[in-house]
Amino acid sequence: MPALPDLFYVALFAVVLPLLDYVFLWPAFHRRLQADPARARRWLWAWAIFSAWPVVAVGAAIWTANDRSWTSFGFSVPEGWRLWTSLALFSLLAAYFVYTVAALALSAEARASVRRQFGKLTDILPRTRTEMVWFGGVSLTAGFCEEFLFRGYFIWAFATWLGWWGAAAASVLTFGFWHLYQGWNGALRTGIVGALFTLTVAIFGSLWPAIALHALLDLGQGLIAWLALRDGDSTGDATGIDKPTYPPPPCSRAFNAFARSPRS
């Protein structure tokens, strides 16, 4: 049964922090983007990484202080067919990205096509090898943090009143709301991806498969972005600056923009 601190915590990461991002983080990113786009992206990704984990740590502290089981939270390892199926899904997604990355590396026309599809999101996507390393950190952070917050804590907190599926639906809607900076179409796509991760948790009875798939999805699409946006020289540097976009909220800054990125 959730207590008052649990509800305050959910309100913090689902409502308060995104609003603070909109009011303070976005204007700061915008100013930095005008002065030095590469440095602005690194600043955004650093903030995404180093602000996300403390938010999760607060939730972990509340959970531990109430002497609750982490297994009931969703941190259990799938067994039997659930384990093998989750490994198969991860392998299939990894194989897809290997194929796509190889195809992009060999085709300038394919890379140009992908660049056109990114649109305004290019401001928060990696262009160099160094930026790709940063983005890898963001992807791993997103995979764990967003699943902890939305498929873990959020659903658990509201399942008492809404039932598991009702809380899951509310989680998906909130997750989509986090991404309204992408526009309604982007938020809808992100909501669909969030629904798929929610189904993953429901089917496998664990957060771990969703965490792994989420991190891999973001990382793979970051690689696609890097291949498409770099200028093709030996350093992987890119040229060209697009108009600034709104950065994502905590635990989702820059990485879950990828619900909108191409998947073929």
Q: What is the DSSP letter of 230?
A: S
Of 259, 234, 263, 221, give the one whose Cα is nearest residue 125: 221
Considering the domain boundaries, does residue 143 fall inside one? yes
Residues whose CB falls within 8 Å of the CB of residue 19, separated by 6 or more in sequence, listed in order: none
Residue 97 has pLDDT above 90, yes or no: yes
Supply φ then ψ for residue 38, to 5 degrees. -65, -45
Supply φ then ψ for residue 106, to 5 degrees. -95, -10
Summarize pLDDT for 101-126 with one digit per residue, the tens. Answer: 999 999 999 999 998 888 778 889 99
Find the domain containing 230 and state its range.
4-259
Summarize pLDDT for 177-220 with one digit per residue, the tens. Answer: 776 666 677 678 888 999 999 999 999 999 999 999 999 999 99
Kindly state the tokens that stand for 193: 């991806």
Which secondary structure element, helix H or strand E, spans residue 105, and what is its range?
A: helix 81-106
The total of structural domains in the chain comes to: 1
Mean pLDDT over residues 63-71, rounded?
A: 96
Considering the domain boundaries, does residue 53 fall inside one? yes
Considering the domain boundaries, does residue 42 fall inside one? yes
Q: Considering the chain, what is the average pLDDT of its residues?
A: 86
Considering the domain boundaries, does residue 9 fall inside one? yes
Mean pLDDT over residues 139-162, rounded?
A: 96
Q: Is 18 exposed, middle or buried (0-12, 13-18, 19+ CB in 10 A)?
A: buried
Considering the domain boundaries, does residue 264 fall inside one? no
Please name the residue ranges forming H helices in 108-240.
108-118, 129-146, 155-177, 184-204, 208-229
Kindly state the tokens that stand for 178: 């986090």
Q: How confident is the model at residue 169 (pLDDT cuts 50, 70, 90)?
A: very high
Question: What's the confidence (pLDDT) of residue 67?
Answer: 95
Residue 263 has pLDDT above 60, yes or no: no
Residue with tokens 């259990």: 76
Considering the domain boundaries, does residue 172 fall inside one? yes
| Poorest-pLDDT segment among 76-85, 165-174, 236-245 | 236-245
- The answer to whether the beta carbons of residues 226 and 236 sit under 8 Å apart is yes
Residue 98 has pLDDT above 60, yes or no: yes
CA atoms in the 13 A half-sphere facing the CB of 109: 0
Summarize pLDDT for 23-57 with one digit per residue, the tens. Answer: 888 889 989 999 999 999 999 999 999 999 999 99
Question: What's the confidence (pLDDT) of residue 34?
Answer: 93
Mean pLDDT over residues 228-254, rounded?
A: 47
Considering the domain boundaries, does residue 253 fall inside one? yes
Considering the domain boundaries, does residue 20 fall inside one? yes
Q: How confident is the model at residue 231 (pLDDT cuts 50, 70, 90)?
A: low
Question: What's the confidence (pLDDT) of residue 185?
Answer: 75
